[in-house]
Structure 1
Amino acid sequence: MSAVDRLLSREPGTPPRADARRNLERLVTATRSAVADTGVTVTAQEIAQRAGVGKGTFYRRVPSLEILLQVVLEEVLEEAVAAADNALDNPDPWLGFTDFATIYVRLRAESCGVNEALGDIGAYDLDEFITALQDRLRRLVERAQTVGAMRADISWQDTAFVLAGAATDPRTIGVQATPDQWNRNLRLILDGLATHR
């Protein structure tokens, strides 16, 4: 369910006018962008400015900043779960795992807010999505190990940490990361996880 639909389901009744829905869509888009750039400390003022609406429109369209952030994080994590489900449908377990790993690491690298939420900052109720991601990751790892494509001495929990580690800070020991550093890191990680077929 999209973040817009999640917000609308909180207020059942007459559907909003077309312009009200458009404003809500703009607020959700602006929130996703702000969460990616700033993290979950983003303010209502910044979101309203990015959406091109006034603060009054912001509070008429959404119940609170916290609820808006919650539904946006849910929407993004739901997309990650869907990517894992698609990966589980791939007949090649290793390709399925690497497809999911690429989407998951890119998501973490491109969004500080999602990275914070997945690091369990505890401010948002995302247990349903975290549990679903854990289940999918465990199944993806087990499938790849069953066919001998992934090292058997790696647990799915180990995999969760090494994938999270691929999304790095922009600098370390005076070295600047490249724009696709997460992808380069991921390729090294996948090479280390694979049994060389």
Structure 2
Amino acid sequence: MNTPRSAVDRLLDDGSGHRPRADARRNVERLVVAARGAVAEIGVEVGTHEIARRAGVGVGTFYRRVASREALLEAVLHEVLAEIADLADRALEAPDPWAGLSDFAVGYVRLRAESCGIGEALGGACGPALDRSLAELRQRIRHLVERAQAAGAMRTDVPWQDVAFLLAAASTGPHTLGMVAGPQQWERNLQVILDGMRSARPSPLPGTPPG
């Protein structure tokens, strides 16, 4: 399996094969780190000035180093989706198919819960730019689900498409009906979902109920 290119390498690849100057690479690395943080907190609508501010560079430097805000965000989201795909690949190698699926689910939902932008990207907010990465991730989820079902560890009446929506549903907002969610609310949600998918006895819930 080929190792996916990092966001920095994607942005520095101008097709010439020339190695970029060290200062250029450092600036792009700072922009990528800043963009990842901004996308997580604000979402994919984050502006150029905010990313540049977080990176400690001027807007002029921003545009000297990357073609556009869209190009930077696309590279960052491809990088994060590649990390999620790597989680899935490692889960597929787990000796226990249910443990592999469960571990992937925890990592996947944690990313959705902690990153506003990843939730938006996975929901299709970025248009066709991420279509291939999303298709590859769908295939991995399908393999994880079918592997767990073939092992008799998961209900066979729950297709992998349902699982994709169930995992997305585990990440909720911090408030509902005048109540405030606890810090482990998404983990509680996910445990209920996993127990509902499983063919074995339910597991104890982590954390405490919302207050």
TM interval, short-chain normalised: over 0.9
1:189 maps to amino acid: I
Inter-partner Cα distance in structure 2 for 1:43 and 1:148: 48
Kept after mapping to 2: 8 A contact 1:88/1:140: yes
Task: Tell me if 1:8 matches 2:12.
Answer: yes
Aligned ranges 1:36-185 → 2 under 5 Å:
36-185=40-189
Bigger proportion of residues as helix: 1
User: What is the CA distance between 1:75 and its match in structure 2?
Assistant: 0.4
CA contact (8 A) 1:94 1:150 kept: yes
Q: Is the 8 A contact 2:52 2:59 kept in 1?
A: yes
- CA root-mean-square deviation: 1.2
Distance 1:97 1:193, change over 3 A: same
Q: Give the C-alpha shift of residue 14 in structure 1.
A: 3.0
Match of 2:191 in 1: 187
Counterpart amino acid of residue 121 in structure 1: A
Can you list the C-alpha shifts for 1:134-187, whole angstroms capped at 9, x where unaligned? 111111001101111111110101101110001111211111122222112111
CA contact (8 A) 1:35 1:112 kept: yes
Structure 1 residues not aligned, in runs of 5+: none
SS for the counterpart of 1:179 is coil
Per-residue deviation, 1:26: 0.6
* Larger CA deviation: 8-17 vs 53-62: 8-17
TM-score (norm 1): 0.96
Identity %: 60
Q: From 16, 25, 39, give the equivalent of 1:35.
A: 39
Say which structure, 1 or 2, has more relative contact order (CA 8 Å, 6+ apart): 1
Unaligned runs of 5+ in 2: 202-211
Contact persistence 2:12–2:25 (CA under 8 A) = no
Question: Counterpart of 2:206?
Answer: none
Is the Cα–Cα contact under 8 Å of residues 48 and 59 in structure 2 kept in the other structure? yes
Tell me which moved more, 38-47 or 12-21.
12-21
1:124 Cα shift? 4.9
Q: TM-score under structure 2 normalisation? A: 0.90
- Count of aligned residue pairs for this structure pair: 197
Q: Report the Cα distance in structure 2 between the residues aligned to 1:12 and 1:106, rounded to whole angstroms.
A: 38
